[in-house]
C-alpha cells in the first residue's frame, strides 16, 4: 500500500510534534488502535483520498458535502456496511488531525442523513461465508493423513480454530506458553483480541471431545508431539525443505488451509474462508440450543447482535413451521 501523508492514524504528526509528550507517551498513544484496524483504516482512507484528488476536493479537512458526494458515488457499487466503514475511517483520521467534536465533518448531520438514506435503499444484509459445522468437521477429518506433518498441523489448526471460536489473527498467534493441558481438556490464554482493546486477556476452555476423530485437544497434542514445539508460536510455516520456521503463520494462511480441505472434502471452496471456523462454532452451538451468553463467552463477542444473527441462521430449519406440518 502506498504511503499517504494525509493518513495520520499510523504516525500522527500532531503527536510526534508535541514537545510536551515524552517518547514513551508518544509510543503508547500510537498503539491506541490494533494493527489490523490501522491497516483497514489506511486502505479506506486511501480510497477516499484518491476520490478527492480525482474530483479536485480537499480531503483533510474535508467538507460534509465532499464526504456525502463520495458516499453516494461509493454506494453505486458497494454495500451499505462498506460505506459506513469508510465514513468511520474518514472520521477517525479527522480526529487524529485535531478535528474532533463539531469540527469533524464526518459527524455532520448531513453525513448521518446520507448514511440513513443509503441503508434504507440498499439494506444492511451481508451474505457471509459458509460456516464449518460439526458435521463438516467429520468430512474434513477424513482428509487428513496422520503420518504427514503438514496434515497434523492443519488438522490441529482447523479443530482448535473451531472449538475455540478464534479469529484468524488470534489463532495464528497462539503461543506454547499460553497453553495449559488439564484432565478435562485444554485452556488457551488470549492476551489481546479485537474485542479486547485494553488487553485484559481471556482464557478459552476446550474440553476433550467424546469422539477422538474431531477432538481439538487430541489433534493439538499430536501436532505438538510430532513437531517437537516447546515454546513460541504453535502454528508455523514450513521452509521449502519442510523444516519448521520460527515464526507464526500469517492470518491469510488460515483461509488457504480452510479452502484446501473443504475442497478435498468435496465442498465448494469459494463459499468458505478463515471466518468459517468461528462462524461455524456459533451456528452449531445455536443448533444445539446453547444460549447466547454461553456462545458469547466462547466467541468473546461484546455485542449480542452478531451472535443472534448466528442463532437465527442455526434455527432456520429447527424452528421452521414446516417441520411441525411434516411431523404433527
Q: Is 19 a catalytic residue?
A: no
Q: Among the options 153, 167, 173, 279, which is catalytic?
A: 167
CB atoms within 10 A of CB 231: 9
SS3 189: strand
Q: What is the 3-state secondary structure (H, E, C) of 289-302?
A: CCCHHHHHHHHCCC
**Location of C-alpha cell 482428509:** 143
**What is the CA angle 170-136-196, rounded to 5?**
20
Cα separation, 80 vs 31, in Å, equals 29
Q: Is 301 a catalytic residue?
A: yes
Q: Name the nearest CA neighbour of 66 among 49, 81, 80.
A: 49
Q: Among the options 259, 278, 279, 300, which is catalytic?
A: 278
Cα separation, 103 vs 243, in Å, equals 55
> What's the count of helices (H) and strands (E) in the chain, helices before strands?
15, 3
Q: Is 176 a catalytic residue?
A: no
Q: Among the options 94, 155, 168, 275, which is catalytic?
A: 275
Q: Is 194 a catalytic residue?
A: yes
Cα separation, 217 vs 225, in Å, equals 12
User: Three cell numbers at 203?
Assistant: 482464557
Strands across the sheet with 179-182, in order? 179-182, 185-190, 202-207
What residues contact 82, with CB distance under 8 A and at least 6 apart?
Answer: 74
Q: Is 99 a catalytic residue?
A: no
Q: Name the nearest CA neighbour of 267 among 126, 161, 166, 131.
A: 131
Element (H, E) at 182: strand 179-182
DSSP labels, 196-223: BTT---EEEEEEPPSSGGG-HHHHHHHH
Q: Is 270 a catalytic residue?
A: no
The catalytic residue positions are 167, 194, 275, 278, 301, 310
Amino acid at each position: 500500500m502506498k504511503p499517504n501523508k494525509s493518513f495520520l492514524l499510523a504516525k500522527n504528526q500532531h503527536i510526534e510534534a508535541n514537545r510536551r509528550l515524552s517518547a514513551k507517551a508518544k509510543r503508547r498513544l500510537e498503539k491506541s488502535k490494533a494493527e489490523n484496524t490501522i491497516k483497514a483504516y489506511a486502505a479506506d482512507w486511501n480510497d477516499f483520498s484518491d476520490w478527492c484528488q480525482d474530483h479536485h476536493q480537499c480531503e483533510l479537512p474535508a467538507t460534509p458535502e465532499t464526504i456525502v458526494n463520495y458516499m453516494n458515488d461509493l454506494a453505486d457499487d458497494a454495500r451499505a456496511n462498506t460505506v459506513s466503514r469508510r465514513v468511520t475511517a474518514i472520521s477517525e483520521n479527522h480526529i487524529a488531525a485535531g478535528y474532533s467534536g463539531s469540527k469533524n465533518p464526518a459527524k455532520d448531520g448531513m453525513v448521518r442523513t446520507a448514511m440513513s438514506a443509503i441503508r434504507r435503499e440498499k439494506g444492511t444484509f451481508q451474505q457471509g461465508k459458509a460456516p464449518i459445522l460439526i458435521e463438516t468437521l467429520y468430512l474434513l477429518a477424513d482428509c487428513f493423513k496422520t503420518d504427514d506433518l503438514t496434515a497434523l498441523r492443519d488438522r490441529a489448526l482447523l479443530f482448535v480454530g473451531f472449538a475455540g471460536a478464534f479469529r484468524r489473527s488470534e489463532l495464528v498467534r497462539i503461543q506454547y506458553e499460553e497453553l495449559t493441558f488439564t484432565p478435562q481438556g485444554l485452556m488457551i490464554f488470549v492476551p489481546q483480541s479485537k474485542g479486547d482493546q485494553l488487553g485484559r486477556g481471556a482464557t478459552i476452555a476446550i474440553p476433550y471431545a467424546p469422539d477422538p476423530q474431531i477432538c481439538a485437544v487430541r489433534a493439538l497434542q499430536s501436532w505438538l508431539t510430532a513437531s517437537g514445539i516447546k515454546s513460541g508460536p504453535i502454528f508455523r510455516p514450513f521452509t521449502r525443505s519442510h523444516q519448521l520456521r520460527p515464526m507464526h503463520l500469517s492470518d491469510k494462511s488460515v483461509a488457504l488451509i480452510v479452502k484446501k480441505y473443504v475442497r478435498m472434502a468435496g465442498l465448494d471452496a469459494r463459499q468458505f474462508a478463515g471466518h468459517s471456523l468461528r462462524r461455524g462454532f456459533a451456528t452449531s452451538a445455536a443448533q444445539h440450543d446453547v444460549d447466547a451468553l454461553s456462545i458469547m463467552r466462547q466467541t468473546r463477542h461484546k455485542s449480542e447482535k452478531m451472535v443472534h444473527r448466528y442463532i437465527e441462521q442455526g434455527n432456520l430449519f429447527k424452528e421452521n413451521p414446516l417441520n411441525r406440518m411434516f411431523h404433527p
